[in-house]
């Protein structure tokens, strides 16, 4: 047993898998089942309060596949379990992912039963990758999908990710910051996410700073001296008193006063924003903005906007950070073809569509999504094919790796192309139409009859 370590390392990624992936791999290896398998990664159904999902996580998935290796330490550990043969461990020592990957680009809205990723690789390779591909694509798609709603609800208001402290661990806080940015969030408080992904970072002061000083006024003055264009948190003791202190400070400081905004973090935010706005305006501080935070999500933001609360930006933490109203998606990674033959599972309520596929997105005259058509991989149909080749023989295709800003612009354009019913916060009266081609239906039906007989 190695020392407990707070950070995982990229050297041990191959072990981030369910044990059964490895036992199945060994069985495949013994039985010489190394033929090409096709696995689809998709979402079976939407949570009640989602009308679309925003695909994310591909970058992580490809980085993982490209770096997949079993280290000496990993092999020693596997050997210690006593399950695995020396022959299999030798095979793992030389293991590389050599397959092809097709994917819907990050930042694209997706719907149930559309493959987000299609992995085409020798069966043991594709099997091993299941756990980690799901872990990354599920989480990042979950986060981007939640954030897309929050950003939409905020309209012109800025959205800043404040969620790191209550997200589920370190990796969650980094990957979510990236997914939020893809979905349109303007900045993150997470400094490491800023460094790793180049996302703008934002943040000013907490209540503890105010409390560490003899009084609130002293704290405001000290902070604005250090950071003239700062945001002052006004609700540590009495919110409107706090705002008055800011106004007093502006009077005394004159031109030296360059505070950019105040932040409200508790209480009736709509009322406090209005009353704060009045105090600031009376003091001639029209240019000082108001930021709000504290248990915000898309519903709370929509309500604040419905009340015309004069809020310029939103710090959104936990509810977005854990996708509180839908903390997981019904994700799946299913074998759909092996050795050229379509495959499917018949277990109750979990029927899958067999074979390689394509998804065509059809737009109306105004550029709005009209319907999607899922076809067999070789079919041609009207509309834009969404699944694109992104990795061939284990190598990423560099011209298919857009940077974060490009993914983010793509996501904004695509969100604007969603039908208004799907873009609403409440459940759409009807799901977005995702049709299945006749050819694919026939393949599924033929296979079902064969398997049931």
Is residue 2 at the binding interface for a second copy, with CB under 8 A as the rule?
A: yes
Q: Please identify which residue in 98, 248, 271, 328 interacts with a second copy, judged by CB under 8 A.
A: 328
Q: Give least dist CB 116 to a second copy, A.
A: 14
Is residue 299 at the binding interface for a second copy, with CB under 8 A as the rule?
A: no
Is residue 335 at the binding interface for a second copy, with CB under 8 A as the rule?
A: yes
**Nearer Cβ to a second copy, position 20 or 378?**
20
Q: Give least dist CB 367 to a second copy, A.
A: 31
Q: In this chain, which stretch among 19-27, 89-97, 363-371, 407-415 interacts with a second copy, using CB under 8 A?
A: 19-27
End-to-end CA distance of the chain: 49
**Nearer Cβ to a second copy, position 201 or 425?**
201
* H-helix or E-strand spanning residue 161: strand 158-161
The encoded tokens of residue 126 equal 């594709």
Distance (Å) of CA 84 to CA 1, 2, 20, 30, 77: 18, 20, 12, 11, 11
Q: How far apart are CA 50 and CA 335, in angstroms?
A: 26
Q: How far apart are CA 15 and CA 26, in angstroms?
A: 14
Q: How far apart are CA 27 and CA 344, in angstroms?
A: 20
Is residue 87 at the binding interface for a second copy, with CB under 8 A as the rule?
A: no
Subset of residues 415 to 434 that bind a second copy, contact rule: CB under 8 A:
none
Please provide residue 112's backbone torsions phi and psi, each rounded to the nearest 5 degrees.
-55, 145
Is residue 449 at the binding interface for a second copy, with CB under 8 A as the rule?
A: no
Subset of residues 152 to 211 that bind a second copy, contact rule: CB under 8 A:
162, 164-176, 178, 189-192, 194-198, 201-211
Is residue 238 at the binding interface for a second copy, with CB under 8 A as the rule?
A: yes
Q: Binders of a second copy: how many residues, by CB under 8 A?
A: 123
The encoded tokens of residue 318 equal 């936990």
**Nearer Cβ to a second copy, position 86 or 226?**
226
Q: Please identify which residue in 24, 417, 425, 435 interacts with a second copy, judged by CB under 8 A.
A: 24
Binding mask 267-296 for a second copy (x = CB under 8 A): x-----------------------------
The encoded tokens of residue 158 equal 């800025």
The secondary structure of 395-446 as a DSSP string is EE-GGG---HHHHHHHHHHHHHTS-HHHHSSSPPSSPPPEEE-HHHHHHHHH
């Amino acid at each position: 047993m190695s020392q407990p370590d707070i950070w995982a390392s990229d050297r041990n990624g191959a072990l981030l898998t369910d044990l059964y992936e490895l036992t199945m791999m060994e069985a495949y290896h013994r039985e010489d089942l190394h033929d090409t398998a096709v696995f689809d990664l998709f979402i079976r159904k939407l949570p009640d309060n989602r009308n679309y999902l925003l695909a994310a996580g591909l970058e992580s998935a490809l980085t993982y596949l490209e770096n997949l290796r079993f280290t000496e330490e990993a092999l020693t550990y596997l050997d210690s379990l006593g399950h695995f043969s020396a022959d299999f461990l030798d095979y793992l020592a030389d293991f590389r992912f050599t397959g092809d990957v097709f994917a819907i680009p990050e930042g694209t809205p997706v719907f149930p039963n559309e493959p987000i990723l299609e992995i085409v690789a020798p069966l043991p390779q594709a099997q091993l990758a299941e756990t980690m591909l799901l872990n990354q694509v599920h989480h990042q798609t979950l986060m981007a999908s939640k954030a897309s709603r929050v950003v939409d609800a905020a309209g012109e208001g800025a959205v800043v990710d404040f969620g790191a402290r209550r997200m589920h661990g370190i990796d969650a806080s980094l990957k979510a910051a990236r997914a939020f940015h893809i979905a349109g969030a303007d900045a993150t408080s997470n400094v490491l996410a800023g460094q790793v992904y180049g996302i703008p970072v934002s943040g000013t002061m907490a209540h503890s700073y105010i409390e560490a000083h003899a009084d609130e006024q002293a704290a405001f003055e000290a902070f604005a001296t250090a950071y003239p264009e700062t945001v002052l948190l006004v609700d540590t003791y009495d919110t409107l008193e706090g705002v008055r202190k800011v106004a007093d400070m502006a009077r005394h400081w004159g031109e030296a006063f360059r505070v950019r905004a105040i932040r409200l973090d508790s209480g009736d935010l709509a009322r406090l924003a209005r009353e704060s706005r009045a105090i600031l305006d009376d003091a001639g501080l029209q240019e000082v903005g108001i930021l709000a935070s504290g248990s915000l999500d898309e519903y709370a933001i929509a309500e604040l906007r419905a009340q015309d609360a004069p809020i310029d930006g939103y710090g959104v933490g936990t509810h977005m950070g854990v996708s509180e109203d839908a903390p997981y998606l019904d994700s799946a990674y299913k074998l759909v073809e092996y050795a050229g033959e379509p495959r499917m599972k018949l277990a109750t309520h979990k029927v899958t569509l067999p074979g390689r596929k394509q998804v065509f997105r059809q737009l109306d005259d105004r550029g709005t999504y009209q319907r999607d058509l899922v076809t067999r991989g070789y079919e041609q149909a009207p509309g834009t094919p969404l699944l694109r080749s992104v990795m061939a023989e284990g190598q990423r295709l560099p011209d298919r790796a857009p940077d974060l800003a490009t993914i983010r612009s793509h996501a904004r354009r695509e969100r604007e192309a969603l039908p208004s019913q799907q873009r609403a916060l409440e459940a759409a009266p009807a799901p977005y139409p995702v049709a299945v081609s006749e050819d694919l239906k026939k393949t599924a039906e033929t296979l079902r009859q064969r398997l049931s007989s």
